[in-house]
Amino acid sequence: MSNVAAPAEAPVRDHVFHRNLLKKYPVAVRAAGVYIFDSDGKAYLDASSGAVAANLGHGVQEIVDAMAAQASQVAFAHTLRFETPVMVETAGRIADLSPEGLETVYFASGGSEANEAAMKLARQFHLDSGRPGKHLVVGRWQSYHGNTLGALSAGGDVGRRTSFSPMLAPYPHVSAPENEPLESVCPHDGGPGEQFDYIGEFEQVIARVGAENISAFICEAIVGSQQGAVVPHPKYLGRVRELCDRHDIVLIIDEVMTGFGRTGKNFAVEHFGVTPDIITFGKGVTGGYAPLSGMIVHDRIVDVIRERSDGVFRHGYTYSGHPVCLAAGNAALTYYTDNDVLDNVVTQGRYLREQLDELQARQPRMGPVRGRGLLLGFDLLDVPGRRHITSEAFNEMAMQNGAIFYPGKGRIDGIRGQHLLIAPPLTIQRVDIDLMLDVLEQTLTDVDVEVSSLIINERNAL
Ligand SMILES: Cc1ncc(COP(=O)(O)O)c(C=O)c1O
């Protein structure tokens, strides 16, 4: 018998290129309503709807059935050769929900693809309208439009951009507004707090690079992951619209995270009374049951493509208009209407906001709560004498406690600032909101309990 110690058990490796190759993830084996269950039987309240996509909760049988039925009818038909009834019906439903004038829907699979398509469509629209110089897309810092190179170029997520910056298109960026009512749109709008002239900054960019070179401006109406539900001053988007009109710039509003009721309106842009030229959508359109995204395009652009481009947008994906994904979208949109999901967002969003405001008043680590509907967020603050915690680490602790939030960072300048987004399924009821709040409060307390015991241990070790 050898007295050599047996080697430690080798870590189990599978063949998946995981998001983090060094991390062990819980194994999700079942999901129902607002809960996901792992292989140990632990329940997690899905307070972030996954990546703010599972907007109708888990296990909605109508959507599952519609996908299965479509799969056995026509699972795939190339959109270069065919149209399908489910495509026409889903586009009609989306157009019905959209602001007046946005009547035509182009389909893709993910949010990044939708934004790529929107930026290319803007370019083709100008080209075919006799404005060949227009090619640049102006984006905003602290905004996210996707991880493909074009979307990343227009986005302003410093963390995601840095490694790839030599590969990115040289698109100009302007500042994203702070949460209302902290700052105003322009100095002459008045308003409390520090003032920064966001519109003036945009005007300076136009003057510097030349309106003749600018094709589009892209932004989220209410910023999701990058700022944690920051709502701009009520006049901001109207001013942006005016500038775009004056300089023939296509206004693209990215509603990939906010579309289909997340903020208490079908589209977040409705809070500001502005009609964009293109709305991009994704995530919530199927409630996460299948990858479907797209853009809703204003007639003024569609007319140009129809009349001057032989009707052809020179773009397309294999899975544009995938029938099974559209069946998921069609069934999800029916579910939204039949179950008055929008009303639930308003009611439960108001309740959640009140409860979070109360919690914030007694929790020094919570900054002021912001957002609309069921897209709420706050900064995770440092407290003097207590340790810094990242929102990612905070969320890991919350998962141990039984709820999943959506952590983010870099709100202040792309690097500094930790925030937490709270975005449960839009079907959530009060009893689950209360449970979610209990987990949040417990975790806020645990941070300092754990930290103080760590500090005590460190002192004892000295
Ligand atoms: C506002 C916004 N735009 C675009 C995207 C990219 O979508 P996808 O990851 O489906 O490509 C996201 C994803 O989080 C998003 O929040």
d(CA 95, CA 98): 5
Distance (Å) from CA 259 to ligand 1 centroid: 11
| Nearest of 114, 411, 356, 398 to residue 257 by alpha carbon | 114
What count of other Cβ atoms lies within 10 Å of the Cβ of residue 82? 12
Distance (Å) from CA 322 to ligand 1 centroid: 19
Task: Please give the helix or strand (H or E) that residue 398 lies within, else none.
Answer: helix 391-401
Output the DSSP codes for 427-462.
Answer: T--HHHHHHHHHHHHHHHHHHHHHHHHHHHHHHHH-
pLDDT in tens, 246-304: 999 999 999 999 999 999 999 999 999 999 999 999 999 999 999 999 999 999 999 99
| Nearest of 75, 41, 98, 53 to residue 277 by alpha carbon | 98
Distance (Å) from CA 257 to ligand 1 centroid: 7
Tell me the CATH class for 61-338.
alpha beta
Which atom from ligand 1 is nearest to the alpha carbon of 109?
10
Which atom from ligand 1 is nearest to the alpha carbon of 110?
10
| Nearest of 321, 278, 274, 281 to residue 301 by alpha carbon | 278
Q: Above 60 in pLDDT, residue 328?
A: yes
Query: What DSSP character marks residue 178?
Result: P
d(CA 357, CA 158): 30
If you average pLDDT over residues 355-374, what whole number do you get? 96
Residue 10: per-residue pLDDT: 52
Distance (Å) from CA 148 to ligand 1 centroid: 10
CB 399 within 8 A of CB 445: no
CB 31 within 8 A of CB 59: yes
pLDDT in tens, 396-437: 999 999 999 999 999 888 888 999 999 999 999 999 999 999
Coil, helix or strand at residue 63: helix
d(CA 287, CA 145): 19
Say if residue 14 is exposed, middle or buried (CB neighbours under 10 Å; 0-12, 13-18, 19+): exposed
d(CA 98, CA 103): 7
Nearest CA to ligand 1 atom 4: 145
Residue 111: band (very low, low, confident or very high) from pLDDT cuts 50, 70, 90: very high
Tell me the CATH class for 28-58+341-461.
alpha beta
Which atom from ligand 1 is nearest to the alpha carbon of 113?
11
If you average pLDDT over residues 364-390, what whole number do you get? 95
Residue type, 325: C
Q: Does 28-58+341-461 match 61-338 in CATH topology?
A: no
Distance (Å) from CA 190 to ligand 1 centroid: 34
- Domain boundaries, given as residue ranges, for the chain: 28-58+341-461, 61-338
Which atom from ligand 1 is nearest to the alpha carbon of 112?
11
Q: Above 80 in pLDDT, residue 187?
A: no
Distance (Å) from CA 283 to ligand 1 centroid: 8
Ligand 1: lining residues by beta carbon, under 6 Å:
51, 110-112, 115, 144-146, 220, 224-225, 254, 256-257, 282
Which residue from 283, 286, 295, 375 has its CB within 8 A of the most atoms of ligand 1, so it is best to mutate? 283
Coil, helix or strand at residue 85: helix
Nearest CA to ligand 1 atom 8: 111
Distance (Å) from CA 145 to ligand 1 centroid: 5
What count of other Cβ atoms lies within 10 Å of the Cβ of residue 189? 16
